[in-house]
Amino acid sequence: MDKYSVKCLMCGEVHDHYSLNCKKGDDSLLRAYYTAKQLIPSDMPGIWRYYNWLPTEGIIEEGSGRTITYKSKGLASDLGLDDLWIAFNGYWPQKDAYLMTCTFKDLESFPTMQRLREQQEKRIMVVASAGNTARAFAHVCSITSQPLLLVVPKDSVHRLWTIHEDNYSICLVTVEGDYFDAIALAGKLASLEGFVNEGGAKNVARRDGMGTVMLDAVLTSKELPAHYFQAVGSGTGGISAWEASMRLLADGRFGDTLPKLHLGQSLPCAPLYSLWNGVDAVDAACPGGMYDDVLFNRKPPFAVKGGVKDALEATGGTLYAVSNKEASDAQELFENAEGIDINPAAAVAVASLVQAVKAGNVKPGEKIVLNITGGGQKRLMQDYKLKQLPISLEVSAKDEGAEAKVVKKVAEVFGV
């Protein structure tokens, strides 16, 4: 019996395990359905603890980390909450947290890479990113030697560091433009012979990898929370939490109610907040002026079947818009209360929780999970020397010849 199947949420058609789209053309995400109806943790390392609910047929042991969940004392006390759980994704040896890129994007990159290995994929993988996803895929490709083409906005290149000495399998291209421009160029390249697209939100491995945040939180705290908080750009992390929660609900051992999704976005560039609330929260200069521009995506999977809108409606969830001042104050609050540095995006999640407490959207005795999507970079720098990935090529989004230039550079870098 197969470990899992992949189905279209609209037509119910069963697809090949590695499909990214419905072959009938439905505007729907595909979803993995697992033979194991209960979550049985394995004794495998890192994220592979949740192997029976990951869409892979093997593991990448080296470099694998996972979410570490613990019950908050400091932040909980500051906010007057009795049952706040921190799902920490990053580097914090004192908590046995070893996500070596200091971001939960590692949870996406390892299952995605494992599926490429299962297909014996030799083509060059193309990844578009505003920084954190690129760093995560650079990390796993440095381990596996899978050739990788990274396409990132020029202003995001400072996030492209690694702990690895050798990164020969990576070609980094920067785009004079925003994240959507990087996505557009990467899409064109991925359609060419010799390249393969990793799939983004359409890839069940990426979503179910991120969904392990909820799995870890529930196994640690023993039940589904009433509320789940996370900062989002595309909203895929929110979709992942919802999908994982449905599986845990069906498991039957962790409660009978889906957690409410509380998703935070960063002003002045909050397209999901705009779509959900019917207001204009996207400045013409976006992504400029954001506390963390990794949270900006001009074309998020909002209305697609199984997307952000469905996730919010199914859970009775909501979206928050966070100012830079609120994010800054929240980052300071968390770091002082919990004793570890966090990424700016995670500060937006903390600020969303602060807003919710003030508005009475959560009650002091309710179980709450706060996803800290990235943290511990300052702590990592105490133990490792970070190395900036070298830029192979710089192009403009307005350059009609950008695609050809990238192909030529890739041939030089990889000798193909």
**Lowest-pLDDT range of 154-163, 221-230, 328-337:** 154-163
Which single residue is written with the structure tokens 């083509």?
Answer: 123
What secondary structure does DSSP assign to 61-82, as a single string?
Answer: -TT----EEEE-SHHHHHHT-S
Q: What is the mean pLDDT of residues 263-271?
A: 96
Q: Is it true that 68-103+204-380 and 124-193+386-414 share their CATH fold?
A: yes
Residue 351 CB-half CA count within 13 A? 28
Distance (Å, whole) CA 131 – CA 153: 8
pLDDT of residue 282: 87
Distance (Å, whole) CA 201 – CA 114: 17
Biggest CA pair distance of the chain: 60
pLDDT of residue 179: 80
Distance (Å, whole) CA 34 – CA 175: 39
Check: CATH 3.30.70.1450 for 124-193+386-414?
Answer: no
CA dihedral angle for residue 108, residue 221, residue 341, residue 272, rounded to 10 degrees: 50
Q: Is the pLDDT reported for residue 416 higher than 80? A: no
**DSSP 8-state class, residue 49:** G
Residue 375: phi and psi, rounded to 5, are -175, 165
Dihedral (CA of 52, 208, 353, 382) sign: positive
pLDDT of residue 318: 97
**Lowest-pLDDT range of 37-51, 106-120, 395-409:** 395-409
Fold of 68-103+204-380: Rossmann fold (3.40.50)
> Hey, where are the domains in the chain?
68-103+204-380, 124-193+386-414
Peptide bond into 268 cis (omega under 30): yes
pLDDT cut 90: percent of the chain above it = 86
pLDDT-derived band at 284 (thresholds 50, 70, 90) equals: confident
CA separation, residue 360 to residues 24, 139, 316 (Å): 45, 41, 15
pLDDT tens track for 169-194: 899 999 998 888 888 899 999 999 99
- The average confidence (pLDDT) of the chain is 95
Residues 6+ apart with CB under 8 A from 153: 130, 174, 175, 177, 178, 179, 181, 182
Q: What is the mean pLDDT of residues 352-377?
A: 98
Residue 194 near residue 123, CB atoms below 8 Å? yes
Residues 6+ apart with CB under 8 A from 90: 97, 99, 102, 103, 340, 342, 343, 372, 374, 375, 376, 377, 380
Distance (Å, whole) CA 15 – CA 32: 10
Buried residues in 397-416 as b, exposed as e (16+ CB within 10 A): beeeebeeebbebbeebbee
